[in-house]
């Protein structure tokens, strides 16, 4: 099936550091609980049901695109989906978040993890991508979690404050850690490449918990695997976004690991972060999601400051520094998008 190119391609141009008519904007978790339409779907279906039903995943993917003047869409899925076919028992517990009932704690557990054939085990994600592409006039982003972030969920069994068991394996059984990360790189690269084959036009790798590591530990335990993942993804021929939180001390290592676009969270000034990275990569970010709860004048002030720091340089994609929060007012989302487009118009 021949797919139409997006009518609005400023996002893809910015990923390639090409001139654009105005700065593109999209928001991480833009399909989510802050929208009434999404809450209505979730009132009838569990999160996993929405993810695994292509028609529902496509519907919620398109909801923010129909409501806001966004410049990119991201497929609705969850970073933990690949863990189920690897052999882990995943549940989303109301009020608590994801729980893995058989976490991986030792070599035996890592060795038992199964390889994954994406179209067989995760084909519902690819079908959702195909359905969304039939309707979209903006580019579609595919995504996955990064090896460290997924490994931490697999080992801890859910969210963690100090990543005690994760770091215990890293430091105490590095050969087991490397085996786990190597398996994850294979699963994630196959999964992401399948998303491109299905129609994703950009890929984002979410390393949500990587800020828990020091630069030395990142270099030793994570960098080789991230480098391997981004090297494998190069064959996709689409822009690659490398995102993490709490990464102010890791930016140079992230760039070295790979990515055409490096995500910046709000803990580093955009101009300083970009200067450290070098201007041969694009950047994405970096408004604090909590600013969307401020008065409109404050929202506009902070948007203007980020645009000032970007200085009109090709390669800036406006986004939040992490995902949009569930209680975010819709009028604040409108305010950000309108301000970015108007103030950055070339």
How far is the CA of 11 from the CAs of 24, 57, 255, in angstroms? 5, 22, 20
Confidence of residue 9 (pLDDT cuts 50, 70, 90): very high
- Residues 20, 14 contacting (CB under 8 angstroms): yes
pLDDT at 268 over 90: yes
Catalytic sites, residue numbers: 29, 33, 42, 78, 153
SS3 204: strand
Q: What is the dihedral of CA 142, 340, 262, 140, to 10 degrees?
A: 10
User: Which tens digits make up the pLDDT trace of 141-184?
Assistant: 999 999 999 999 999 999 999 999 999 999 999 999 999 999 99
pLDDT of residue 97: 84
Architecture of domain 10-343: Alpha-Beta Barrel (3.20)
pLDDT of residue 77: 98
pLDDT at 53 over 60: yes
- Torsional class of 8: left (φ above 0), alpha (ψ -120 to 50), beta (otherwise): beta
Least confident of 1-5, 25-29, 144-148: 1-5
pLDDT of residue 3: 62
Domains of the chain by residue range: 10-343
Confidence of residue 1 (pLDDT cuts 50, 70, 90): very low
pLDDT of residue 4: 63
As annotated, the binding site includes 29-33, 78, 153, 208, 322
User: Which tens digits make up the pLDDT trace of 193-247?
Assistant: 999 999 999 999 999 999 999 999 999 999 999 999 999 999 999 999 999 999 9
As annotated, the binding site for substrate includes 29-33, 78, 153, 208, 322
Of 174, 165, 175, 191, nearest in space to 83 by CA:
191
């Amino acid at each position: 099936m021949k797919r139409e190119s997006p009518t609005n391609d400023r996002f893809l141009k910015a990923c390639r550091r090409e001139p654009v008519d105005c700065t593109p904007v999209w928001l991480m978790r833009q399909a989510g609980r802050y929208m009434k339409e999404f809450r209505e779907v979730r009132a009838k279906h569990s999160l996993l049901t929405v993810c695994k039903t292509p028609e529902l995943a496509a519907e919620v993917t398109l909801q923010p695109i129909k409501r806001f003047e966004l410049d990119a869409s991201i497929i609705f899925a969850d970073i933990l989906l690949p863990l189920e076919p690897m052999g882990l028992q995943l549940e989303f517990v109301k009020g608590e978040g994801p729980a893995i009932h058989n976490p991986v704690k030792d070599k035996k557990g890592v060795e038992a993890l199964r390889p994954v054939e994406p179209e067989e085990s995760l084909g519902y994600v690819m079908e959702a991508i195909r359905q969304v592409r039939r309707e979209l006039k903006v580019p579609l982003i595919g995504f996955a979690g990064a090896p460290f972030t997924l490994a931490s969920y697999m080992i801890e069994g859910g969210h963690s404050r100090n990543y005690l068991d994760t770091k215990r394996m890293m430091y105490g059984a590095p050969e087991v850690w490397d085996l786990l990360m190597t398996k994850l790189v294979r699963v994630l690269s196959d999964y992401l490449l399948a998303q491109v084959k299905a129609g994703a036009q950009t890929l984002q790798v979410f390393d949500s918990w990587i800020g828990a590591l020091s630069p030395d530990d990142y270099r030793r335990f994570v960098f080789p695997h991230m480098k391997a993942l981004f090297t494998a993804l190069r064959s996709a021929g689409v822009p690659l976004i490398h995102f993490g939180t709490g990464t102010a001390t890791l930016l140079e290592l992230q760039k070295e690991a790979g990515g055409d676009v490096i995500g910046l969270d709000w803990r580093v000034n955009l101009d300083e972060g970009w200067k450290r990275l070098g201007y041969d990569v694009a950047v994405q970010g970096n408004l604090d999601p909590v600013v969307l709860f401020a008065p409109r004048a404050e929202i506009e002030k902070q948007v203007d400051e980020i645009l000032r720091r970007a200085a009109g340089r090709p390669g800036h994609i406006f986004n939040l520094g992490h995902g949009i929060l569930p209680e975010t007012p819709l009028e604040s989302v409108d305010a950000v998008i309108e301000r970015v487009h108007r103030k950055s118009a070339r």
